[in-house]
Amino acid sequence: VFVFAVKEARVTDATRRRATRGRIQQAAEDISDFLAERTDVRVDEIARAHSTMTQVRQPAGAPVALPESATFNQMRHLDAPLPAQDRDEALRQALAVWLNGSSELQLTFNVQALRALLGL
């Protein structure tokens, strides 16, 4: 007895595209254009990279949209403290540190905070 079963093609798998370098660049431009029009939405570095990779895998001709996934929300949450952090490189210095006989670790410190901590 032979039984033949037809494998149903899933529409989403058949229409998804591979993330090639050219498609990633095009998706990044599309996301930037989309966000330039939407001033009410703030998407920083990490979330922008995720939305670009999500967009690049969408079927050809799919409209640009921000992901509504938990992962994208986590990326936006990770981006949130970045503007609040000190980005001025003049305030930061790399120091070589050895902890408990370990090999050399290069750690970056905020010089003003370190001076305040040491009472200098």
Place of tokens 């938990």: 70
**Please, are residues 108 and 90 in contact by the beta-carbon 8 Å criterion?**
no
Segment 23-54, tens digit of pLDDT: 899 999 999 999 999 888 888 889 999 999 99
Q: What is the mean pLDDT of the chain?
A: 83
Of 88, 61, 64, 66, which is closest to residue 76 (Cα–Cα)? 66
Give the pTM: 0.56
Give the three-state DSSP class for 108. strand
